[in-house]
Amino acid sequence: MHILILALLTAAGPVEAGELMCPAELPASTITVSHPPPDWTGFVPAKLMLNSVGVSLGPLEDRATLIGDYRKRRGGAFTVTFSLEGAKNDDRWLMCQYGSSNDIVIAKRLARSLTTCAVSYVPIRFGDNTITIACR
């Protein structure tokens, strides 16, 4: 049985254009197992590292994650660009995904004026990437 928690971090207002950053890691102390099975105790033994970034349209509980345009670059780097054009509502979210299977997600609302978000991944070591986010 897997127990997952979706934590939402929302800014006072939607994020405007510019470069955004997801936290590089989620400390173990920020994640809780709130309802373990009877007679069990849950805990999170280690921090979770940022694994990927996505964009969602609509209510987060619908999990309407966009499929971006993938573009390979030199040295194993790549960029994924998400188009927000044509979105008819204000539910536009930048999703920071943690753990090897994107088990934990934190999200920040994006401004309606944004039309694209590009996420660049540059390999550093041991399968990790430096992730850069630019929305316009």
Phi, psi of 62 (to 5 degrees): -80, -15
Report if residue 4 sits inside a domain: no
Residues facing residue 54 across a β-bridge? 95
- Name the percent of the chain lying above pLDDT 70: 86
Residue 7 resides in a domain: no
Residue 10 domain-assigned (yes or no): no
Nearest residue to 32 (alpha-carbon basis) of 60, 7, 11, 13: 7
Q: Is the pTM of this model over 0.85?
A: no
Domain of residue 64, residue span: 18-135
pLDDT in tens, 6-51: 333 334 456 665 668 999 999 999 999 999 999 999 999 999 999 9
Residues 10/43, Cβ–Cβ less than 8 Å: no
Residue 3 in any domain: the answer is no
Whether the predicted pLDDT of 1 surpasses 50: no
The count of domains in the chain is 1
Average pLDDT score over residue span 125-130:
82
Any domain includes 84: yes
